[in-house]
């Protein structure tokens, strides 16, 4: 079950990134890059990038390397130590759940859904495609 306080913070972070809708015209898709900040401390971060290409069948996510915009160091961090933490898989499930909720009801979810696709995953792993047009 998604903790609403974490989702509200995540949603506010995404709102701040998307409110000006200043994505390049070449944006074809969005990818939420997940990072392990500290395995010991159960800290995970997510960064939003816009990509100039998209291929839903590419599990390796090479298309996500075609970055045309990035939120840079403005990342959202979650501490999973208070939960039934099963490591990086739990963090990925949590982020995917929050992204799906934002796509369904987020203030600027339409900006993400105006693209060909939205995916999430650890930068050295496979991507999970959460939306395709």
> Is 11 within 8 Å of 106 (Cβ atoms)?
yes
State residue 43 phi and psi, 5-degree precision. -105, 130
Distance from C-alpha of 25 to C-alpha of 110, rounded to nearest angstrom: 15
Give the domain ranges of the chain: 4-125
DSSP secondary-structure letter at 53? -
Using alpha carbons only, give the angle 96, 7, 133 rounded to the nearest 5 degrees: 40
CA dist 112 and 16 (Å) reads 14
- Note down pLDDT in tens along the chain; length 133 residues: 456 699 999 999 999 999 988 899 999 999 999 998 865 677 899 999 999 999 988 877 899 999 999 999 999 998 877 655 567 888 899 999 999 999 999 999 999 999 999 999 998 888 999 999 9
pTM of the model: 0.91
């Amino acid at each position: 079950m998604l903790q609403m306080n974490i989702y509200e913070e995540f949603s506010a972070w995404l709102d701040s990134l998307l409110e000006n809708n200043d994505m390049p015209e070449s944006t074809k898709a969005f990818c939420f890059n997940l990072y392990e900040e500290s395995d010991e401390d159960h800290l995970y971060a997510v960064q939003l990038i816009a990509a100039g290409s998209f291929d839903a069948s590419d599990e390796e996510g090479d298309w996500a390397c075609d970055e045309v915009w990035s939120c840079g160091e403005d990342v959202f961090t979650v501490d999973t130590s208070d939960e039934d933490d099963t490591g990086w898989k739990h963090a990925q499930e949590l982020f995917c759940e929050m992204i799906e909720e934002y796509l369904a009801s987020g203030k600027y979810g339409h900006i993400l859904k105006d693209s060909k696709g939205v995916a999430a995953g650890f930068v050295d792993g496979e991507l999970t495609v959460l939306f395709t047009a």
